[in-house]
Amino acid sequence: QVRLVESGGGLVQAGDSLRLSCAASGRTFSNYAMGWFRQAPGKEREFVAATSRSGGPTIYADSVKGRFTISRDNAKNTVYLQMNTLKPEDTAVYYCAGSQTIISRLRADYNYWGQGTQVTVSS
């Protein structure tokens, strides 16, 4: 079992930056690819970004490419999502998740989920 706890969300203005963190405990963190997903009110949960077990390969949704950066520190059992140039449409609850695949953008490939952290971007 892997327990994931997100933090770092908040209310910001358009154009601002935020860094989300996700702390993992339980099984060996470096055994899991990690991803970030988000869910806006009335919408399905969507993929944002993912990183492989080593933190090397990364993938992004087109809507955040060039603005968001995913990274991980296996020594600290933590994955991050640096979000720059935030837009109102980035408003959502952001979830981190762990997968036993190499790297994936599919929700079904993720076995472990955090409780989410709210990000609200005002215009």
Who wins on pLDDT, 118 or 55?
A: 118
pLDDT at 26 over 90: no
What does the mean pLDDT of the chain come to? 96
Q: What is the DSSP string of 34-100?
A: EEEEEE-TTS--EEEEEE-TTS--EEE-TTTTTTEEEEEETTTTEEEEEE-S--GGG-EEEEEEEES
Q: Mean per-residue pLDDT for 69-93?
A: 97
At residue 55 the predicted structure's pLDDT band, cuts being 50, 70 and 90, is confident
What integer pLDDT is reported at residue 34 of this predicted model?
A: 98
Residue 89 backbone dihedrals phi, psi, to 5 degrees = -75, -5
What integer pLDDT is reported at residue 27 of this predicted model?
A: 80
